Amino acid sequence: MVSYCPISLSYIFLLFTTIPFVRASPPLDALLDNGSFEEGPNPSNLKKTVIVGRHSLPKWEISGIVEYVSGGPQPGGFYFAVPRGVHAVRLGNDASVSQYVRDLKAGTIYSLTFGATRTCAQNEVLRVSVPGMSSDLPIQTLYSSDGGDTYAWSFRASGAIVKVTFHNPGMQEDPACGPLIDAVAIKEMLPASYTRGNLVKNGGFEIGPHVFKNYSTGILVLPKRKDMYSPIPGWIIESIKPVKYIDSKHFNVPSGVGAVELVGGRETAIAQYIRTTIGKWYNLSFTIGDAKNGCNGTMSVQAFAGKSNVTVKFTSRGKGSFKMASLRFRAVKESTRIVFYSPFYHTRLHDFWSVCGPVLDDVKVIRFA
């Protein structure tokens, strides 16, 4: 005869409440260790501003002549803009700073957001790389007059630990020249998905690169030839100049938390390929406006879908206005390319050194029944 031992409900409750609950770690979205460079070298490891010792900059590894500088006037009549904090590093000829970033997911796309500023009128290039992948950023063009240009660059993690390097490959005649880096952050890029009824992925630009909390002039997203993986999932920068990703905390955005500003005129285009059925009719709708950043005047955005196109004009007073537009098209292929670009160049009304342009948001493609 088999006897059974009854289990009380209180025991079952105790059992389940004592079993450890494992939470999935949230997607990475933060500054790198000492990514703002506010933790400086020991004074004994500084020769004036030059860092002495390969591991003297906390959390970073340096090579070549790397200076630890503060923003403001410098000896020799220079002025270093450090808008995202107090300190930055300046990379001399053939110098670099590197960091091993840990706890990544192999095969996942990550985006680096970083502040980079040229310090001289000479051509300056900043090379950003991970093992097996690198890009040279021509930082000669200033998009913000205060030197606050911020860039995004993406890569696919080859393993749980990836070495990120910023390198100045140039050899300037003036040793006081070289790019400044004053903040570096990383973000795990979640895959872009569809919303119900919309054939466009990430049409509201809600998924984008890391945005610095306390400072933003927008984030320059590089063309595809400079960055294989887009920091704006679903979208391709098909141009020779970047577009600018903007957020609702620092700019006027038609809806949601993100949008793009077409800052490069006819040299900037953003595109996406969508699945379509040959012979069927579709409606492409989108919103254009201004970022409430002093960019005013007559603007226009041209939109293309297959063999159809439309030009939408609006007058901006720089106060955050926007309008909706649409384009009806018939698919001639199973994959249709939609493209947006602005044919004109714009600067801010009271700041002719800061380029700007129309804002694009809420892109949707809906098939007619």
Tell me which of 9 and 53 has the higher pLDDT: 53
**Angle ∠(269,273,278) on CA atoms, nearest 5:** 130
From the list 284, 265, 253, the residue with the least C-alpha distance to 361 is 253
From the list 93, 85, 104, the residue with the least C-alpha distance to 215 is 85
Tell me which of 19 and 127 has the higher pLDDT: 127
pLDDT band at 77 (very low <50, low <70, confident <90, very high): low
pLDDT band at 15 (very low <50, low <70, confident <90, very high): very low
Cβ 210 vs Cβ 185: under 8 Å: yes
Above 60 in pLDDT, residue 173?
Answer: yes
Cβ 164 vs Cβ 99: under 8 Å: yes
**Exposure string for 30-53, b = 16+ CB within 10 A, e = fewer:** eebeebbbeebbeeeebeeeebee
Least confident of 155-164, 301-310, 314-323: 314-323
Above 50 in pLDDT, residue 12?
Answer: no
CA count, 13 A, side-chain hemisphere, 316: 29
Could you count the other beta carbons within 10 Å of the beta carbon of residue 141?
12
pLDDT band at 350 (very low <50, low <70, confident <90, very high): confident
Residue 347 tokens read as 């600067």
Tell me which of 176 and 188 has the higher pLDDT: 188
Looking at residue 11, the DSSP 8-state letter turns out to be: H
Could you count the other beta carbons within 10 Å of the beta carbon of residue 7?
9
Residue 7: per-residue pLDDT:
46
Q: How far apart are CA 184 and CA 105, in angstroms?
A: 19
**Exposure string for 74-104, b = 16+ CB within 10 A, e = fewer:** beeeeebbbbbbebbbbbbbebbbbbebeeb
Cβ 111 vs Cβ 209: under 8 Å: yes
Say if pTM beats, i.e. exceeds, 0.85. yes
By three-state DSSP, how is residue 18 classified? helix
Q: Where are the alpha helices (DSSP H) in the chain?
A: 9-18
Q: What region, left, alpha or beta, does residue 352 occupy, with left being phi > 0 and alpha being psi -120 to 50 degrees?
A: alpha
Could you count the other beta carbons within 10 Å of the beta carbon of residue 224?
14
Residue 78: per-residue pLDDT:
63
From the list 244, 237, 189, the residue with the least C-alpha distance to 216 is 244
Cβ 88 vs Cβ 153: under 8 Å: no
Residue 318: per-residue pLDDT:
80
Domains of the chain: 29-188 (2.60.120.260), 219-367 (2.60.120.260)
Least confident of 85-99, 279-293, 310-324, 343-357: 343-357
Question: What DSSP letter does each residue of 329-367 carry, written as one string?
Answer: EE-SSSEEEEEEE-SS-EEETTEEEEEE--EEEEEEEEE
**Angle ∠(365,367,368) on CA atoms, nearest 5:** 135
Looking at residue 174, the DSSP 8-state letter turns out to be: S
Above 50 in pLDDT, residue 257?
Answer: yes
